Structures are given as C-alpha cells and as structure tokens.
Chains A and B, each alone.
Chain A
Amino acid sequence: MNPTPAAIFAPGLFTSSLVQIAALVCAVVAVVAGAVGVFTVIRGQSFAGEALGDIGTTGESGAFLVAVAPLWGIAIAAVAAAGVMELIGIQRPRGRDVATGIVLGAGLGVAALLIYLDTVQHSTTGTTFTIVFGSPFAITSSAIPLVIVLSVISLGLILVLFRPLLLSSISPELAAARGIPVRLLGAGYLLALALAVALAAFTIGTILSTALLVGPAATALRLTRSPAKAVLAAALIGIATTWLGIVMAYDSYDWYDQSGKSWPVSFFVVTLIFLAYLLAGVPAWRRRRASTSPTEAPTRA
C-alpha cells in the first residue's frame, strides 16, 4: 500500500460509521447554510444568524433537560427567537441591531438557567462544552431524517423565494414599488435562516454555527458577483471545508499515542473557513496593488 494516502487518510476513515454520518450531515447542512448564507451576507444580517445560533444553546439545554432529541430543541428555539425578533422590529434597519441583541440576551439568560438545571439534574460538568462547541462525530443516525426534513424546508423556501428575495434584499424600494410584499418575504427568509442556523448549530456547535452560515457565503461573494453562482460556490466551499475538517480531526487521533484524545472538528472547520475567506480576498488585493491610484478603493457592496 502506498504510504502517502495512508498518512492522509488514517485507517478506518472510510469505514467508520461515525465518519460517514458526519460527512453526510455536514454536506447537507453546508448546502443549506451556503444558500441561506448568501442572502444573510447580502442583507447584512450576520448578527441575526449569530444570535439564532447562540439561542440554539437554550434549545439544546432545554431538550437535554426534558430528554428530547437535541435538534428538535435547537430548531424550536431558533424559530421562536426569529418570531420574536420579527415582532419587535428586525425588519427596520434602525431597530434591527437592538431587536437582535435583546432577544439574544434574554435567550442566553434562559440558557444559563436551563444549563444550571441540567447540571443539577444529571450531575455532569462538561455539559456546557458539549452543547456550545459540539462535534459532528457525536451525531447519531437517528437524527438524519430530521436533518433532511429541515434542510428541505429551508432550502425549498430559499429556492421558491429566490428572485423576489434577491430583489428585495438588494433594493427594497424597487421591490416595494413592484408590489412585492417585502415584509412577508423578510419573515419567510427569517424562517429559512432560523432552520439553517439550527442545522449548523447542531452540526458544529451552537456558538460556531455562524462560521458555516457566513464564512462560505462571504467567501463566495468575494469570488463571484452572480448570486446564483455564489450559492453554488458557497455550498461547495462549505462541503470542502467541513470534509477536510473531518479528515484532519480524524487524523489528529494519531497525534496522541492511543490516548483517545483528538483535536475538535469544529476548530479545523472554522480555521479552514477563515483561511478561505482571507484567500478569496487576495485577487481584489492584488488588483488594488496593481492600480497605481493612491486613493482608497471603494469597499465592495
């Protein structure tokens, strides 16, 4: 056997059912997060995505308390939080920041209580870490059907709303003038966002979910200006980074001698996504260097 592939793909990588489940879920979630994320970046709503992901902590700790599948908890909490944000005025750019912040603060407050109750009830100490940072390797096959269903709903919403949503994201005035129900579209998008974030939170941990939502999409939008191409590119970047992260984390088991320790998948995924974003900025940076004009290049819209 050629030693090089064995060094990259540690023995058992392709036969382990945990890795297979992780790879499948990551791929599905990366596609959904990429499609929704492109709109999140265009609309400038990363904070809403981040907040909904964090509130997944509330849902997951609640689910743990009443012994329900974690994804149910995360999804319900995210959708409920999105509803409250919509109610208190996330659709207005001026109130958006505060609306998101208030919901996030309250949601995390409840999470503090639920995690406290979890630790009292189950007398475990590592709960917070598992919930907050998560790991694709911890996903069981019983979660797959719900992952697929939520993905189909979220992706379906985005595909059905694609054209009007794009117009209302880029030019709300023009969309309103054409009779497109801008507010209703915003609410529909928020629902798709809540589901996509819930999936990402379930996969790579509640406080890292934003990486999968915003990172690949922002990278893609640096590479292409066409939204449809950006959705495709974001999905591909998402799949590539998560799969590479899985391989690297799996390999990291070998860095310790049989101690069973490894580096977390989430760390690799997040770092790879960040590197991809920086790399995607290189062409624009070189263009700026090449142009002799000393004035600052306008920031990309």
Chain B
Amino acid sequence: MFSGFMVNAWTVGSIVAVVAGLVGFFVVLRGSAFVAHAIPNGSLAGAAGASLIGVNTILGFGVFALFGALGIGTLSRRGRHDVATALALVTMLGLGALFVGLSVEYAPEIYSLLFGEILGISTTQLTPTIVLSIVCVIAIILLYRPLMLASLLPDVAEARGISTHRIQLTFLIVVALATTMTVPVVGTLLVFALMIGPPAAARTFTDRPIAAMGLSVATALCVVWAAIALAYQTNYPVGFYVGTLSAAVYAAGRGWAAWKRHRTARRAPGSQPAQSAAGAGLDWSPG
C-alpha cells in the first residue's frame, strides 16, 4: 500500500489536498462554488482537443482553464455572474463533446478526467504538479490580504483603491492554475469536492480565517488519505470516496454547529442564538 506506484498517489494526493484546502477556503468565502465547478469541468474540452491534435493534454487543459477563467470574468461584467459562468461552462463542454466525438479513442479517457485515476499516476506527472502547486500557494499568500478584504468588505476594498474586479479575475486565474495542475491527475470531481467540503466544514468550527484555513487543509488531507486507503482496499474509484467523505465531513461540521447552538441556547434561555437569527433574517434575495 505504501510502495511502488502508490508512493506517487500519496504524494500527489497530499499536494492536491493542501492546494484545494487553501484555494477552497476562498472559494467558499466568496461563494464561488459554481466557478470552482465550471473551470475544471469546462477545461475537459481542452484536454480532449489537445489529444485530438496530438498535443500534451495538460497544455490543452491549461489553455482552456485560463480562457475559461478570463471568459467568465469578462462575461460577468455585463449580465449576471451565474449566467455567465453557466454559459461559459456549457460552451466549453459543447466543444468537448465535439472533440471527443471526433476522436474515437478518447471516449474512455473522459471517465478518468471526470472521476480521476489517482492510483495510476506516473513519476513524470509529479514535477509539473509540484511546481504548479508551489505557484498556487505563493499566489494565495501574496493575495491573502487584498483577497480577504475584497471578499468580506468589497466596498471598503474599493474605497482603498483595490479593484474588486481585478481581484476577482486574479482569483479566477489561481483557480484555473490549481485546476490545471490537479485535474489531469486526479479528475474534476476530486478537486471540486475537496474545494467545497473541507473548507465549508472548517468554517462551521471556527470564525478565525487562519485557523479555518489550517483546519480546511488538515481536513482535506484526512479526506484524501482516507479515500486513497479505502480505494486501495476495495478497488472502488477514489472519486467516490472523496465525494462522499467530503459531504460527510461537512455534515459533521453542521451537526457540531447545531449541537453548539443548542447548548448555548439552553445555557442562556431567552437570548436568541446568533447564527440562526442571522440565517432566518436573510431569506431569499434574487441574484
């Protein structure tokens, strides 16, 4: 379980978990889950197109991820953000349908791009993954303060001369980078589930950003390690375990939050628990 090709799986799995945990923290904070889903998913088309013309699939993937990020950023300046994301995504996927349809031998590859083949990672894939992940982590560290401000208090950020649109675009590019490095190796599903589940769970445990980030990374690591071990033992796909474990971690976080609310409500009867009041007060708002 810890020898031969499995070493690559553990290494890459851990790297992916760290990057997804970090980037995912901001994805959840900014409410960008749709974008985090759209960029990896839409970039599948790039990989299929690259394989059609005989270019390195990671290159095709990266190009589409970048264009996807820029396209979403540009389209959403006019019109609704979620509509822009949806249309950019399906347009890329439509191209993907064409590319895959044209190249007969590529169809089975779609499964591994969607759901990951982490147990079949070759040593040559290791170096680009490590390099891109370091770039991602550095970008997040550099962006930390303006990104935090633009995510939580966009008006204050604008007043201080930080362009929220530019921050948004930069963040999308970081997501595209993280995607490019991870998806060809682990599949879109794995990345997406890791970018949402662990960070969302971490936020239910703590409100402090640094602590939540650390917890998010730690949780993502645990999820990935457990998923690889389980997949190795049972022969079922890794994506299944990552998807369901991420949701389970989030469910546990929600359970913990509910239990804590319940306890504080019992200790101080009469005082409204803060979190549920905020939730009930802010019902539906369009857009």
Contacts and interface: CB of A to CB of B under 8 A. Distances in A.
Contacts of A261: 102
A203 interface: no
Interface string B266-284: 0000000000000100111
Interface in B246-270: 246-247, 250, 254
Interface in A247-275: 261-264, 266-267, 269-271, 273-274
A116 B93 contact: no
Interface string B69-97: 00000000111101101110111011111
Main secondary structure of the interface of B (DSSP, over half): helix
Nearest to A133: B97
Contacts of B136: none
B33 A97 contact: yes
A211 B189 CA distance: 20
Interface string B193-233: 10011001000000000000000000000000000000000
A50 B110 contact: no
Interface residues of B, number: 62
Interface string A101-141: 11111111111110110010000011111001100000000
B286 interface: yes
Contacts of B91: 211, 270-271, 274
A43 B286 contact: yes
A300 B79 CA distance: 6
B282 A277 contact: no
15 contacts: A44-B286, A97-B28, A98-B33, A103-B247, A108-B189, A109-B189, A110-B240, A111-B115, A112-B116, A172-B283, A172-B284, A182-B283, A261-B102, A263-B102, A274-B91
Interface of B: 28, 31-34, 36-38, 41, 77-80, 82-83, 85-87, 89-91, 93-98, 100-102, 107-108, 110-111, 114-116, 189, 192-193, 196-197, 200, 236-237, 239-244, 246-247, 250, 254, 279, 282-287
Interface of A: 41-47, 49-51, 88-89, 91-95, 97-98, 100-113, 115-116, 119, 125-129, 132-133, 168-172, 176, 182-183, 186, 205, 207-208, 210-211, 214-215, 218, 222, 261-264, 266-267, 269-271, 273-274, 277, 281, 284-285, 299-301
